[in-house]
Structure 1
């Protein structure tokens, strides 16, 4: 995190899930040795399975509660200290596809942080949340001179500006650029990284999506000749044909 004065604060991930992985693996092994439910055969779970499964769920619930408590403390402190908070619209679903980072990203809870900041800032009235556009180059823009790199691979963790010679951690550089967006969004002035336009603020999820147009269903016609439907017409034709044919005896 970075504020408007340039001070950078680091909030390390608590890693509650990593701390409980060993306990979860042990609990899962115990559950797998018990007779569990089977929908195909209609088998009912044993009491030992229900007890072991309840013990495993207890560990999962504790991890979720610890994560939620840590996020509440972080977002409450941020909302109480700052008047305007700028967050980045991260593609969390795409980040979860990286098998090396998926577990830690899911344990961090980026979506929950954004949700809590949103309603806590609205509750305080004096604080507001600005969501930077997903395509704003916060990491590739120099926080010193505003120059933008063409590419910056993810494995490059240090940002080195060729224009002004700035050398800084890429996450710290991105945080400084997001902090500079406050002045642009509030006063409309130019800030580092602006591409001759004001930074875009993303809309809530689903705001740009179009819904399917509803079509009015047509009512069924009154039928064919004589006002009868097709099955009724066929029955009448068969009855008339039977009555018209003479009776033959062998």
Structure 2
């Protein structure tokens, strides 16, 4: 599998200048490749307006990374006479990035790419993320003290922490470095190694129970066993300092593209403090999620979560800030790969499964449940329970539902209700119906299971 190892760097002044030069070279190559392709497309579009055949048009340029690199090698002496000051990897990575962006745009336009429509790539300004990727050359770790790395044309750079975990994989032969990406984030330089790691087969967790996890805003997570994980609200707690720094920056002289006014040094310092504060908040949030997901995958055999439409939920102006601060998407991503590493099972409930509206005791689904109703009250059995705890218990019961219905041989999943609100994927049986088996005895067994788990049988 491909795994990333990220370390903070402590470069010297000369090394930092070299890193900035390489990142600028990658941005320059990206913009050159984009302008090269864009000029060709505009020329062909202008010629096509006169009605010639395709053979009479200007030949189309190749969008692949190899094609753009060949064109760059022919033009670099003219467009960038200083190209020899940096490693060829800086220019190659910029051209590879623009080739990927153009391919995504082309596939999205032709309907070959799923998801939201991708627009035509834009030029990168100096305010974009400073990064550069190396794939060849003197690239790796220094085994002297495991506190240094090697980068092409930059040399040996000290790291802020030990690289022993990655060094052990390299010494055993179970890891191979594919590339290294340096980036400037929050005023600090980082390097991320993309490593091809051979991991041993995980030992399947034999002990432990099934747990349902209901994510929320008031509480970060509510488990089906009654445990409530409070929401740290890292960004909310830092809002006072963020607003203070933003007001301070507003009083400084900032950049203005219309008048070409250069920002003052005090404005730059304030922006640097603001960037460091945001990085601190992001690091604290990521650390808390890592601790929670590691504990869940180590303690429970099966973890059940909902398939939340996080991108759609962020459209809510009132809750978008809190949802982004909770980082539900990152929580799901970490659970996904950690469950495979540690031998646990991650079950994802269908997006339209009514976990909040369904009674965890009798299985009756309420017709309407408002968001402000934080307590679930069942009109049939009289159950009164916290809304999030009820949803978590319904998620945990999905594993029992799937196991019990799968034991009924000859059953088949059938959609129920709105066909656009059902899924045949993971846990789709929670919202589906079972076709009646031909054997009467078998049907009676399925009916007993359905009665116990409040599933409809037709």
Query: Is TM > 0.5 for Structure 1 vs Structure 2?
Result: yes
Corresponding residue number in structure 2 for 1:100: 318
The answer for unaligned runs of 5 or more in structure 1 is: 204-250
Q: What does residue range 51-70 of structure 1 map to in structure 2 within 5 Å?
A: 51-70=269-288
Q: State the Cα RMSD in Å.
A: 2.5
TM-score (norm 2): 0.40
Q: Is contact 1:35–1:45 with CA below 8 Å preserved after alignment?
A: yes
- CA deviations over 1:198-231 (Å, ceiling 9, x no partner): 995757xxxxxxxxxxxxxxxxxxxxxxxxxxxx
Q: How many residues align?
A: 197
State the SS of the aligned residue for 1:139. Answer: coil
**Equivalent residues in 2 for 1:234-249, closer than 5 Å:** none
- Aligned equivalent of 2:59: none
Following superposition, the deviation at residue 35 of structure 1 comes to 1.4
Q: Which has the larger radius of gyration?
A: 1
Aligned counterpart for 1:136 among listed residues 338, 353, 375: 353
Once the two structures are TM-superposed, the CA of residue 182 in structure 1 deviates from its matched residue by 1.6
2:379 to 150, 154, 162: 162
1:40 corresponds, among 226, 237, 258, to 258
SS in 2 for 1:107: helix
Deviation at 1:42, TM superposition (A): 2.5
More strand by share: 2
Task: Provide the C-alpha distance between the structure 1 equivalents of 2:238 and 2:264, rounded to a whole number of angstroms.
Answer: 26
Paired residues of 1:134 and 1:202 also in contact (CA < 8 A): no
Query: Which one is further off, 2-11 or 62-71?
Result: 2-11
The one-character-per-residue Cα deviations of 1:147-169 (angstroms, maximum 9, x if unpaired) are: 11111111111111111111111
1:44 shift after superposition: 2.0
Per-residue deviation, 1:105? 1.3
Contact 1:131 1:201 in 2 (8 A): no
Which structure carries more relative contact order (alpha carbon 8 Å, separation 6+)?
1
Q: Distance in 2 between matches of 1:28 and 1:202?
A: 46
Cα-to-partner distance string for 1:113-147 (whole Å, 9 max, x where unaligned): 000000101112x2121111110000111100111
Tell me how far apart the structure 2 counterparts of residues 173 and 19 of structure 1 sit (CA, whole Å): 29
CA drift of 1:186 comes to 4.3
> Do the aligned residues in 2 keep the contact of 1:130 with 1:201 (CA within 8 Å)?
no
Q: Which among 74, 85, 88 is matched to residue 306 of structure 2?
A: 88
Shift of 1:36: 1.4
TM-score normalised according to structure 1 size: 0.72
